[in-house]
């Protein structure tokens, strides 16, 4: 369905009267066959996902995957010439009864719920998967249509133009405010802003820095800051002088005006980092905030450390923008100017990203470096453990026992108070030891017409449009950068595709509105055993898919199995890579031999 062009909020009622008058005057004229009609939302449209007749209901039967027994955790050798060793983290999934599914893992995982919240793990009806993915066919039909349980149900996809959803009146939660949701796309940020300003869309994503600055002064456009999940930091390795001196590291910690760096070189709305993890992640800002800016004391510390005349070094940074560093050269230059005040003369060196990361991990960087942490799952452990936990690489030099112990404690329990305390201890130690200086949590920006209410830009990009009311209009039109490559998001990683799927398909867990904190969705809860290895998930009762099928635990098993098993007959998608699964769960079951 084409997204209709609309006037700004203050002009809509006048324009509606004019349109009605024109319609009466031209009623007798012949229609233009080439014109695209405006969307008709006067009634409840026939869904593109056909409804099942009651007789197709299938009684629940207990199931497990793998059927023959548990997966071989930590397999050291390939089982045969056709397969590689199994390196995944899943051991077995069992549907014990209609509302109980059990995940057995190969190792403890405190972030398991956060993994489940990824839209790639949306649960599909088992019968739907069978009907939409032909093991022997061409491109699966499931690429272009989606059947879920969410607040919107799929209506139609005009490829190259727009994608529309209609309100699911039978949704188990709060029904959507808008009757219809339309996604459309344009790559140019300038064109997206122009479409918002002329009222042809209700909201847009990924504003340029110039558009954000201009929009702040507009009366009919409201900015919705998308909080950043990434952390930019200034790193140093304590195996090299002068970074082997805690006094020098602390001098840099308090001698950098990080807020000024953020203001100079980042998008408005970017947060100056108070911790190594962003506050939008639960427990991300546990413990004390970073040390206050104090350039006078910083200079004194440099003298106390034995460097009254300063030092010379190199500041290395990525040679191309990253999500945590949109202006690498500009940010590096701003930091260099501040380091000079402390007596640290840092020559700037742009380095290819892969080379910079490889040198950092190997502990070869003897100067300062700018890199970032972008967690794969929205859990504080995913930010801190890869850099400061047990077995972390040599990026910052020696590991610190008190930091490792605190992170181990935080990763060994799901008790909120215990995790808050543990990560607070880790933050205190990192603040004292200064292996790195957190600088920024870079933000992005969405924008909406001012009469769109209850807007909240999600830090994960999974905006919850069901809560938004588009003024006095019955449909909400969203303009993003790209068209989804498919609607089978098990095999997609692009945010613009996942965002579309998230309006229709739900995972066992999801993200709270405007936050990266995870909350139950199709599960009422997933609870672990004491070892955090066996997780038992209880499903919501009386949840229906958009085609009328009922949710049960077998749907969960089948939705995961086709991604997990490389030899599953329906392990087929747009690319077949199922990249999110391998990133978050370690690898496929029955992985093909290298090169196979």
CA–centroid distance for 137 within its chain:
32
Stretches in the chain below the pLDDT threshold 50? 1-44, 54-55, 596
On whether both 394 and 252 belong to a single domain, the answer is: yes
- pLDDT tens for 586-595 read 999 999 998 5
Q: Looking at the domain assignment, is residue 271 inside a domain? A: yes
Q: What is the pLDDT of residue 49?
A: 75
The residue whose two tokens read 């202006």 is 327
**CATH number of the structural domain spanning residue 363:** 3.10.105.10
Whether residue 162 sits in one domain with residue 261 = no
Q: Which domain does 579 fall in, by range?
A: 92-180+460-596
Same domain, 424 and 465: no
Q: Confirm whether 28 is domain-assigned.
A: no
Flag whether 380 is in a domain. Answer: yes
Q: Is residue 193 in some structural domain? A: no
CA atoms of 338 and 346, how far apart (whole Å): 10
- In this structure, what are the phi and psi dihedrals at residue 380, rounded to the nearest 5 degrees? -60, -30
* pLDDT score, position 60: 78
Measure Cα distances from 397 to 352, 362, 387, 388 in Å. 22, 10, 11, 10
CA-based nearest residue to 390, from 377, 406, 375: 406
Q: Exposed/middle/buried for 530, CB within 10 Å: 0-12, 13-18, 19+?
A: exposed
User: Looking at the 3D structure of the chain, how many domains does it have?
Assistant: 2
List the one residue out of 345, 277, 346 whose CA is nearest residue 317. Answer: 346
Does a structural domain hold residue 367? yes
Beta strands in 77-132 (DSSP E): 90-97, 100-105
446-485 per-residue burial string, b: 16 or more CB within 10 A, e: under 16 = bbbbbbbeebbbbbbbbbbbbbbebeebebbbbbbbebbb
Residues 276 and 363 in one domain: yes
Q: With respect to residue 38, please indicate whether it lies within any of the assigned structural domains.
A: no
Same domain, 397 and 477: no
Asked whether the beta carbons of 585 and 89 are under 8 A apart, the reply is: yes
**What's the chain's Rg over C-alpha atoms?**
26
pLDDT at 478 (0 to 100): 98
Does one domain contain both 427 and 501? Answer: no
SS3 340: helix
Residues 395 and 482 in one domain: no
In a domain, 354, yes or no: yes
Whether 410 and 532 share a structural domain: no
């Amino acid at each position: 369905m084409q997204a209709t062009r609309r006037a700004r909020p203050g002009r809509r009622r006048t324009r509606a009267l004019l349109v009605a008058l024109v319609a009466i005057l031209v009623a007798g004229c012949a229609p233009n066959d080439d014109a695209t009609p405006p969307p008709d939302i006067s009634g409840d449209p026939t869904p593109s996902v056909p409804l099942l007749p009651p007789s197709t209901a299938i009684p629940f039967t207990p199931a497990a995957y793998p059927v023959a027994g548990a997966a071989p955790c930590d397999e050291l050798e390939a089982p045969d010439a056709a397969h590689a060793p199994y390196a995944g983290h899943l051991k077995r999934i069992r549907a014990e009864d209609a509302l109980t599914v059990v995940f057995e893992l190969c190792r403890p995982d405190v972030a398991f719920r956060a993994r489940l919240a990824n839209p790639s793990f949306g649960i599909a009806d088992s019968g739907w998967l069978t009907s939409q993915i032909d093991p022997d066919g061409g491109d699966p039909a499931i690429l272009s249509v989606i059947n879920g349980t969410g607040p919107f149900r799929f209506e139609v996809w005009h490829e190259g133009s727009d994608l529309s959803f209609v309100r699911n009146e039978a949704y188990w939660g709060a029904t959507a405010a808008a009757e219809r949701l339309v996604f459309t796309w344009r790559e140019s940020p300038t064109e997206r802003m122009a479409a918002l300003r002329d009222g042809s869309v209700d909201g847009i994503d990924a504003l340029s820095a110039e558009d954000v600055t201009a929009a702040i002064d507009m009366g009919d456009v409201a900015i919705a800051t998308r909080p950043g999940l990434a952390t930019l930091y200034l790193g140093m390795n304590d195996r090299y002088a002068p970074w082997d001196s805690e006094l020098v590291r602390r001098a840099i910690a308090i001698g950098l005006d990080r807020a000024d760096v953020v203001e100079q070189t980042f998008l408005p709305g970017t947060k100056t980092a108070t911790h190594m993890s962003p506050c939008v992640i639960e427990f991300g800002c546990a413990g004390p905030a970073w040390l206050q800016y104090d350039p006078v004391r910083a200079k004194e510390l440099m003298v106390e450390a034995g460097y009254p005349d300063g030092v010379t070094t190199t500041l290395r940074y990525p040679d191309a923008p990253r999500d945590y560093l949109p202006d690498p050269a500009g940010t590096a230059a701003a930091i260099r100017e501040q380091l000079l005040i402390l007596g640290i003369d840092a020559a700037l060196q742009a380095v290819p990203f892969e080379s910079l990361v490889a040198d950092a991990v190997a502990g070869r960087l003897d100067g300062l470096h700018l890199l970032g942490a972008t967690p794969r799952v929205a859990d504080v452990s995913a930010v801190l453990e890869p850099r400061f936990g047990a077995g972390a690489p040599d990026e910052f030099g020696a590991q610190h026992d008190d930091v490792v112990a605190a992170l181990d404690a935080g990763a060994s329990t799901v008790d909120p108070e215990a995790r808050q305390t543990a990560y607070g201890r880790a933050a205190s130690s990192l603040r004292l030891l200064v292996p790195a200086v957190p600088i920024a949590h870079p933000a992005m920006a969405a924008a909406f017409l001012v009469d769109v209410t209850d807007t909240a830009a999600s830090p994960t990009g999974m905006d919850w449009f069901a809560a938004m009311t588009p003024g006095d209009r019955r449909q909400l039109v969203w303009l993003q950068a790209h068209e989804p490559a498919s609607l089978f998001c098990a095999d997609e990683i692009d945010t613009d595709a996942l965002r579309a799927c998230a309006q229709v398909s739900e995972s066992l867990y999801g993200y709270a509105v405007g936050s990266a904190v995870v909350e139950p969705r199709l599960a009422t809860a997933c609870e672990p055993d004491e070892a955090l290895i066996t997780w038992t998930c209880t499903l919501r009762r009386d949840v229906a898919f958009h085609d009328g099928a009922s949710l049960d635990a077998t749907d969960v098993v089948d939705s995961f199995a086709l991604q997990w098993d490389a030899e599953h007959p329906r392990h087929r998608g747009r690319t077949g890579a199922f990249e999110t699964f391998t990133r978050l769960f370690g690898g496929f079951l029955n992985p093909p031999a290298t090169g196979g």
